[in-house]
Amino acid sequence: MTDVLQLLSEYKQASRASGDADPRPYLARVSGSDRELLAGLIDAYLEQAPRREFDAERFQGSPAATIAEEVQRSLAGESGIWPALLPQLRRRSELKRSELVRQLAARLGAQAQEQKVGEYYHRMEQGLLPAAGVSDTVLEALGKIVGWTSTALRTAGTLPTPGPPRSDAGAVFARTHRGGAPEGTPGPGGAAPAAEEWDEVDRLFRGAPPSA
Amino acid sequence: MSGLADDALIDYLRAAREAERHDAMKAAVAVLVFGYHDTLMNRARLKLPEPDVADVVSETLASAIASAFDGSSVGEFRSWLHTILSRRIADYHDARTRTPKTAPLPGEHQGDDEVWGAEPSEPFEGDALHARGCLEQAYGELDRDSHRAVIDLYVLHAHSAAETAELVGDGMTEANVHQIASRFQRRFKQLLEEGSDTGEEP
């Protein structure tokens, strides 16, 4: 019989050496309650494991780098953790952004303004749209597309407490957005449109128009 | 930056944000995410099907850093991170038994549990789901501080039996360390098997 503590010891050695030891090959060497036992011990060990020392070379291009970028965007933005969450939900739903936007516009009855809807959605992913202004109607429609509840999306949009407004928000949007706002349309990428230009899509994504 | 403790990194992040130095946050976020990413992935692999591991870990890191960052008291960051991961995993398995949720609870930053939004996925029996409760019970049954120290150092951390005996002191020998660890393992296994026999829920 393979000794569980011996396997745990082997796992710990591998984990210390590489910093990333997959536990499953070790679990595969035992079965039944021994497997559960080993899983519980590895779980408890990992929970106590210290933070791994930063290695710039390994970090570059790793999944952790993508997550770090999304977290940084979340902390810098006004949309909670949407910058970390929304791209992931979109990938999980196997939808290209253009397709998600098409469906979102259709669910909002705004097919004629698909591009504008797309620009607002882009700002949600970038952390550039204040989450409080995004209506439940939008979150419900989005939730149905990506398989999440609107309330969970709302909660994700409120973390963390929004920081000061980003002075570079418009510039970031301009740099990252390919299409730009349609001509003659109040652009969701920059300052809010004037109250008289506020349409239903603006209301859905920004809340009430500013008082004139 | 990598020499800073977790709390110092969080403080640094908060200060950078208040000063609107968003680029300055990148390095601190990178150190935190890189430092815990693989550990969380491997913990999640014990309890989730592989296709869902990366997403759950990504959500965990984002939520934990954000909620630690917003000024709430979350205690030690590493513990907080693992608590969030455990909640996400529990939510994941909970979701499998239900249709899409309609009534989530408040967010973690308010100190309560939260129902996260994912819909049910493929069936999967996690390896460590039931085991964790049994481990905690077996540990709680240890009546001597020195025995708990042996389990902490030798089983749950990465010390050798010889190092553990030296650290615990008070006449502890390497042979004692092995005996205590073996007894603990037997009791843990017994609890696991009792749970399986009775069909008890974890």
Among B1, B21, B19, CA closest to B9: B1
Lowest-pLDDT range of A60-69, A96-105, A195-204, B91-100: B91-100
Q: Are residues B15 and B63 in the same domain?
A: yes
Minimum distance, in Å, between the CA of residue B26 and any CA atom of chain A:
6
* C-alpha separations of B81 from A171, B32, B37, B65, B72 in Å: 33, 11, 10, 8, 14
Q: Which residue among A21, A48, A74 sits closest to B62, beta carbon to beta carbon? A: A74
Percent of chain A with pLDDT over 70: 80
Last residue of a domain, one of B80, B110, B140: B110
Q: Are residues B153 and B65 in the same domain?
A: no
Q: Which residues of A touch B2 (CB under 8 A)?
A: 53-54
Q: Which residue among B71, B134, B158 sits closest to A40, beta carbon to beta carbon? A: B134
Q: What is the ipTM of this complex?
A: 0.78
Lowest-pLDDT range of A83-97, A161-175, B90-104: A161-175
Q: Which pLDDT tens digit goes with each residue over A73-117?
A: 888 888 988 998 898 899 888 899 999 999 999 999 999 999 999
Minimum distance, in Å, between the CA of residue B168 and any CA atom of chain A:
18
- Is the CB of residue B192 less than 8 Å from the CB of residue B134? yes
Q: Is residue B122 part of a domain?
A: no
What is the pLDDT, as a whole number, of residue B13? 86
Q: Are residues B11 and B103 in the same domain?
A: yes
Per 3-state DSSP, chain B is made up of helix, strand and coil in percentages (nearest 5) of: 70, 0, 30
Span A189-205, average pLDDT: 78
Whole-prediction pTM value? 0.75
Minimum distance, in Å, between the CA of residue A7 and any CA atom of chain B:
11
The set of residues, in sequence order, having a beta carbon less than 8 Å from that of A59 and lying 6+ positions away, is A65, A68, B30, B34
Q: Does A97 touch chain B (CB under 8 A)?
A: no
Q: Are residues B14 and B51 in the same domain?
A: yes
Residues in chain A: 212
Q: Are residues B98 and B184 in the same domain?
A: no
- Is the CB of residue A173 less than 8 Å from the CB of residue A123? yes
What is the pLDDT, as a whole number, of residue A140? 96
* Residue among A54, A89, A136 with most chain B CBs within 10 A, to mutate: A54
Residue A145 clears pLDDT 50, i.e. is over it: yes
Q: Does A22 touch chain B (CB under 8 A)?
A: yes
Q: Does A171 touch chain B (CB under 8 A)?
A: no
Q: Which residue among A54, A58, A75 sits closest to B66, beta carbon to beta carbon? A: A75
Span B19-36, average pLDDT: 90
Q: Are residues B26 and B103 in the same domain?
A: yes
Q: Residue B175's domain spans which residues?
A: 129-198
- Pick A165 or A105 by higher pLDDT: A105
- Pick A179 or A137 by higher pLDDT: A137
Residues A113, A103: Cα–Cα separation, whole Å = 12
- Pick B199 or B166 by higher pLDDT: B166
Q: Which pLDDT tens digit goes with each residue over B124-147?
A: 555 666 788 888 899 999 989 999
Q: Does A10 touch chain B (CB under 8 A)?
A: no
What is the pLDDT, as a whole number, of residue A166? 46
Q: Categorize the per-residue pLDDT at B61 as very low, low, confident or very high, splitting at 50, 70 and 90.
A: very high
Q: Which residue among A24, A51, A149 sits closest to B102, beta carbon to beta carbon? A: A149
The residue ranges of every structural domain in chain A are: 4-48, 80-206
Q: Categorize the per-residue pLDDT at A174 as very low, low, confident or very high, splitting at 50, 70 and 90.
A: very low
Q: Are residues B83 and B34 in the same domain?
A: yes
Q: Are residues B99 and B29 in the same domain?
A: yes
What is the pLDDT, as a whole number, of residue A185? 39
Q: Is residue B121 part of a domain?
A: no
Nearest residue on chain B to A44, alpha-carbon basis: B156
Q: Which pLDDT tens digit goes with each residue over B176-195?
A: 999 999 999 999 988 988 87
Q: Cβ of B58 and A65 within 8 Å?
A: no
Residue A177 clears pLDDT 70, i.e. is over it: no
- Is the CB of residue A101 less than 8 Å from the CB of residue A117? yes
Look up the CATH number of the domain holding residue B178.
Answer: 1.10.10
Q: Are residues B83 and B151 in the same domain?
A: no
Span B94-120, average pLDDT: 45
Q: Are residues B17 and B78 in the same domain?
A: yes
Q: Are residues B80 and B166 in the same domain?
A: no
Residue B173 clears pLDDT 50, i.e. is over it: yes
What is the pLDDT, as a whole number, of residue A20? 82
Q: Which residues of A touch B102 (CB under 8 A)?
A: 149, 151
Say how many domains are in chain B: 2
Nearest residue on chain A to B129, alpha-carbon basis: A40
Q: Is residue B118 part of a domain?
A: no
Look up the CATH number of the domain holding residue B29.
Answer: 1.10.1740.10
Q: Are residues B97 and B13 in the same domain?
A: yes
Nearest residue on chain A to B119, alpha-carbon basis: A147
